[in-house]
A and B are shown apart, each in its own frame.
Chain A
Amino acid sequence: EDKVVQSPLSLVVHEGDTVTLNCSYEVTNFRSLLWYKQEKKAPTFLFMLTSSGIEKKSGRLSSILDKKELFSILNITATQTGDSAVYLCAVVANNNDMRFGAGTRLTVKP
Chain B
Amino acid sequence: SAVISQKPSRDICQRGTSLTIQCQVDSQVTMMFWYRQQPGQSLTLIATANQGSEATYESGFVIDKFPISRPNLTFSTLTVSNMSPEDSSIYLCSVGTPNSGNTIYFGEGSWLTVV
Complex interface bits, B71-115 against A, C-beta within 8 A gives 1, otherwise 0: 000000000000000000010100010000111111111010000
Interface centre among A44, A50, A90, A98 (most CB of B within 10 A): A98
Determine if B31 is an interface residue (Cβ-Cβ < 8 Å): yes
Q: How many residues of A contact B (CB 8 A)?
A: 21
In the complex, the answer to whether B90 meets A41 with C-beta atoms within 8 Å is yes
Determine if A96 is an interface residue (Cβ-Cβ < 8 Å): yes
In the complex, the answer to whether A42 meets B109 with C-beta atoms within 8 Å is yes
- B interface residue count range (under 10 / 10 to 19 / 20 to 34 / 35 or more): 20 to 34
Complexed CA–CA distance, A42 and B43 (Å): 10
Determine if A85 is an interface residue (Cβ-Cβ < 8 Å): no
Determine if A34 is an interface residue (Cβ-Cβ < 8 Å): yes
Name the contact of A92 in the complex, choosing from B1, B42, B48, B102 (C-beta under 8 A). Answer: B102
Give the residues in chain A near B42, CB-CB below 8 Å: 88, 100-103
Complexed CA–CA distance, A34 and B94 (Å): 14
Give the residues in chain B near A88, CB-CB below 8 Å: 42-43
Determine if A53 is an interface residue (Cβ-Cβ < 8 Å): no
Q: In the complex, what residue of chain B is closest to A42 when comparing beta carbons?
A: B106
Determine if B53 is an interface residue (Cβ-Cβ < 8 Å): no
Distance in angstroms from A5 CB to nearest chain B CB is: 11
Distance in angstroms from A37 CB to nearest chain B CB is: 11
In the complex, the answer to whether B111 meets A48 with C-beta atoms within 8 Å is no
Complexed CA–CA distance, A36 and B92 (Å): 14
Name the contact of A45 in the complex, choosing from B43, B104, B108 (C-beta under 8 A). Answer: B104
Determine if B45 is an interface residue (Cβ-Cβ < 8 Å): yes
Complexed CA–CA distance, A47 and B96 (Å): 14
Determine if A8 is an interface residue (Cβ-Cβ < 8 Å): no
Complex interface bits, A71-110 against B, C-beta within 8 A gives 1, otherwise 0: 0000000000000000010101000111011110000000
- Other A-B contacts than A42-B107, A43-B106, A103-B42, 10 sampled, CB-CB below 8 A, are A32-B101, A41-B92, A42-B92, A43-B92, A45-B104, A45-B105, A48-B103, A98-B33, A98-B45, A100-B42
Which residues of B does A touch, CB under 8 Å? 1, 31, 33, 41-45, 48, 90, 92, 96, 101-109, 111
